[in-house]
């Protein structure tokens, strides 16, 4: 699949061949959903905790005798129906981690990238460099590329000027290409990929 290569001014300067196995793969929506749910679940800390009746303070002895008082029988003032009592079936620390084979995770990424390419939301740049860290330079580049919505910028290596220029734009996220994930692909409309980052992606998913 041939797609145009643009410079930072939005001018077409050539074409590049995208691997069909990555950017024209069959779209599997259930697989993308499973990969997204897995990533969101694995991001949960699972540190929630409440105290049960055996963990709250007090309530050692029986409040009153079993029979003869006319009141309901009670065994402890730390039971759930008492003020200050323990919680029944409350949350305890646990892991939400979900397993997913590597081939399935990569297939989900290929599906998401294929959807972006089919919608003309993937922009390939010849290079992405800025002389100084200025937000206005990044905003001007996005305007020249006619990016009118949220954008995910993938970089092959760390670039301090580009990162600092994108940090103050709320609709833009900069990510290393090796950290490409299903959540960011689905959260952002446009995907901007310099050629060196494209080589990283095709090396990983190819």
pLDDT digits (tens, 9 = 90+) for 147-189: 989 999 999 998 899 999 999 999 999 999 999 999 999 999 9
pTM: 0.83
Q: Domain span at residue 61?
A: 45-95
Average pLDDT over residues 85-108: 95
Report which of 148, 176, 131 is spatially closest to residue 139, judged by C-alpha positions: 148
Measured in Å, how far apart are the chain's first and last C-alpha atoms? Answer: 14
122-131 pLDDT, tens per residue? 999 999 999 8
Which residue has tokens 């939400």? 96
Radius of gyration of the chain from its Cα atoms, rounded to whole angstroms: 27
193 pLDDT above the threshold of 90? yes
Please report which confidence band the pLDDT of residue 109 belongs to, taking 50, 70 and 90 as the band edges.
very high
Number of domains comprising the chain: 2
Domain membership flag for residue 38: no
CA distance 56 to 149: 52
The enclosing domain of 124 has a CATH number of 3.40.1370.10
Domain membership flag for residue 40: no
Strand ranges across the sheet with 190-194: 12-17, 2-6, 122-125, 190-194, 151-155, 172-176
191 pLDDT above the threshold of 90? yes
The pLDDT of residue 59: 83
Report which of 193, 182, 118 is spatially closest to residue 152, judged by C-alpha positions: 193
The pLDDT of residue 63: 94
56 pLDDT above the threshold of 90? yes
With vertex at residue 45, the alpha carbon angle to CA 39 and CA 49, rounded to the nearest 5 degrees, is: 145
Please report which confidence band the pLDDT of residue 60 belongs to, taking 50, 70 and 90 as the band edges.
confident
CB 28 within 8 A of CB 108: yes
108: which 2 tokens? 């989900």
Domain membership flag for residue 147: yes
Based on the domain organization, do 149 and 200 belong to the same domain? yes
From 57, 74, 95, the end of a domain falls on: 95
Based on the domain organization, do 110 and 86 belong to the same domain? no
**DSSP code string of the chain:** -EEEEE-TTS-EEEEEEPPHHHHSPPP-HHHHHHHHHHHHHHT---------TTTSS---S-SS-SSSSSSPP-S-TTSTTSTT-PPTT------------HHHHHHHHHHHHHHHHHTT-EEEES----SS--HHHHHHHHHHTT--S-EEEEESS--HHHHHHHTT-TTEEEEEGGG--HHHHHH-SEEEEEHHHHHHHHHHH-
Based on the domain organization, do 103 and 189 belong to the same domain? yes
11-36 pLDDT, tens per residue? 988 999 999 999 999 999 999 999 99
Kindly report the average pLDDT of the chain as a whole number.
Answer: 93
Based on the domain organization, do 62 and 142 belong to the same domain? no
From 35, 66, 95, the end of a domain falls on: 95
CA distance 79 to 59: 8
Based on the domain organization, do 153 and 65 belong to the same domain? no
């Amino acid at each position: 699949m041939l797609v145009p290569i643009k410079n930072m001014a939005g001018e077409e300067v050539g074409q590049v061949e995208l691997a069909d196995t990555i950017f024209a793969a069959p779209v599997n929506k259930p697989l993308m959903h499973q990969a997204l749910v897995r990533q969101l679940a694995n991001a949960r800390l699972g540190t929630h905790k409440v105290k049960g009746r055996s963990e709250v303070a007090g309530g050692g002895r029986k409040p009153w005798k079993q029979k003869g008082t006319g009141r309901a029988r009670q065994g402890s003032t730390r039971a759930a129906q008492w003020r200050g009592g323990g919680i029944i079936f409350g949350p305890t620390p646990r892991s939400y981690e979900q397993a997913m084979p590597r081939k399935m995770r990569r297939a989900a990424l290929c599906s998401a990238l294929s959807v972006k390419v089919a919608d003309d939301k993937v922009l390939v740049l010849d290079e992405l460099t800025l002389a100084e860290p200025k937000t206005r330079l990044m905003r001007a580049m996005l305007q020249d590329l006619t990016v009118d919505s949220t954008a995910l910028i993938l970089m092959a290596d760390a670039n301090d000027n580009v990162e600092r220029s994108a940090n103050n734009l709320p609709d833009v996220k900069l990510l290393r290409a090796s950290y490409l994930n299903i959540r960011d692909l689905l959260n952002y409309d446009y995907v901007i990929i310099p050629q060196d980052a494209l080589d990283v992606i095709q090396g990983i998913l190819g």
